[in-house]
Amino acid sequence: MTHVTIKDIAKRLNISHSTVSRALRDHPDIRDETKALVLKTAEEMDYHPDMMAQNLKGRASTTIGVIVPQVKHVFFAAIMSGISNVMSKLGYTVMVCQSNEDFQQEVLNAKMLVSQRVAGVLISVSKTTEDKEHFELLQRRGIPIVFFDRVWEDLETSCVVFEDYAGAFAAVEHLIKQGFKKIGHLGGPMNLKISQNRYNGYKDALAKYDIPLDENLMVCCGLNEEHGLAGFNTLMEQSRGDIDAIFCVTDPVAIGAFRQIRQRGLKIGKDIALVGFSDSPETSLIDPPLTTVRQSAELMGETAATQLLKHIEAFKNQETLAETIQLKTELIIRESSLPR
């Protein structure tokens, strides 16, 4: 189907395309009768303005780019909902790109958003991201960026993160207070700040209660369910089964471990306690329900979007802005971490 243009409307009405353009913009020099005729014809012809062309001409975009590691992930879907809640009210269109946890794809996403001349970009980095050149490219082209959840710290811009360290510390301290002593950790890729912070919370909680750090009780496995599945098996081999609780870097990892524990005929809570991180919807539905660290993904999306709007305004005024905003977490205690 051919896209209807201003020239098509002008041809039908036998007037100049500049008159049509000004009528659509409600220009005071155009008579009201002409405006009404142009608007009526535009509706009949199913005309829609070419936002990209307008952006190129006026250098003012109404499109925001978002780069996430996985679109299908419940956590990132909720974040995108929060972003849309803020941006749609202000007339912005949100363009979502998926890196699929691939560094090269993330680079391509960034370059595509540059070509689209977006007003700004919200980014959560992939687990394989190696450098910051593509982020710097965005900034060199005058496109403000804000990182959320998974961040790249070595850039002058803002980041929106959760209190990962505090959440992890609270989770492991809870396990210790339930009487567990051999507490394992299924961690994420250590190049990611969220993995580092959650590991540090785990480590420092053990130290507070004088529990030695045992390398055999730690596995860096990944962030998804399949990683929890494989990671649990590795953890059992390394520890020779001498383990009574596990703190997992994410809920999907915990769900993977959960399934392996049940497959081995072990009882969750009695034989091995389990704690996740995120409070995904399924964590309250499994049996027993999973203890986890709650983080509001939608609030993160709203906060990141609001911060990006501040960056866009600051850029217009030739000002720089660099803040780190930390959102609180909450430990949700359920049966998976309670001795039975």
Enter the tokens of residue 214.
Answer: 């045992």
- In angstroms, the CA 48 to CA 43 distance is 9
- In angstroms, the CA 247 to CA 184 distance is 6
- Indicate whether 1 belongs to any domain: no
Enter the tokens of residue 47.
Answer: 């005309």
How many helical (H) and strand (E) elements, i.e. helices and strands, does the chain have? 12, 12
Count of alpha carbons within 13 angstroms of residue 168, beta-carbon side: 28
- In angstroms, the CA 333 to CA 322 distance is 35
Contact 324, 154 (CB under 8 A): no
- Indicate whether 54 belongs to any domain: no
Model pLDDT for residues 140-197, shown as the tens digit of each residue:
888 999 999 999 988 999 999 999 999 999 999 999 999 999 999 999 999 999 999 9
- In angstroms, the CA 127 to CA 305 distance is 22
Distance of CA 61 to the CA centre of its chain: 22
% residues pLDDT > 90 (the chain): 76
- In angstroms, the CA 4 to CA 107 distance is 34
- Closest-CA residue to 189 (of 67, 280, 103, 75): 103
Could you tell me the pLDDT band of residue 245, with boundaries at 50, 70 and 90? Answer: very high
| 78, 32: one domain | no
- Indicate whether 143 belongs to any domain: yes
| 238, 123: one domain | no
| 218, 95: one domain | no
Containing domain of residue 18, as a range? 6-49
Mean pLDDT lowest for which of 8-12, 79-83, 207-211? 8-12
pTM here is: 0.80
| 104, 78: one domain | yes
Report the CATH number at residue 80: 3.40.50.2300
Q: What is the mean pLDDT of residues 285-294?
A: 96
| 21, 92: one domain | no
Neighbour-count burial of 336, counting CB atoms closer than 10 A to its CB (0-12 exposed, 13-18 middle, 19+ buried): buried
Whether the pLDDT of residue 136 is over 70: the answer is: yes
Q: What is the mean pLDDT of residues 68-97?
A: 94
> How far apart are the two ends of the chain, measured CA to CA in Å?
65
| 72, 150: one domain | yes
| 24, 118: one domain | no
| 248, 316: one domain | no
- In angstroms, the CA 67 to CA 65 distance is 7
Whether the pLDDT of residue 58 is over 70: the answer is: no
Beta bridge partner(s), residue 148? 160
For the chain, give the mean pLDDT.
92
**Backbone torsions φ then ψ of 73, nearest 5 degrees:** -65, 130
- Indicate whether 157 belongs to any domain: yes
- Indicate whether 150 belongs to any domain: yes
| 182, 282: one domain | yes
| 272, 173: one domain | yes
Widest CA span of the chain, in angstroms?
Answer: 86
Which ranges constitute the DSSP H helices of 116-159?
Answer: 133-140
Higher pLDDT, 180 or 48: 180
Report the CATH number at residue 34: 1.10.260.40
Contact 186, 249 (CB under 8 A): yes
* Other Cβ atoms within 10 Å of 273 Cβ, number: 26
- In angstroms, the CA 24 to CA 42 distance is 9
Q: How many distinct structural domains can be found in the chain? A: 3
Whether the pLDDT of residue 55 is over 70: the answer is: no
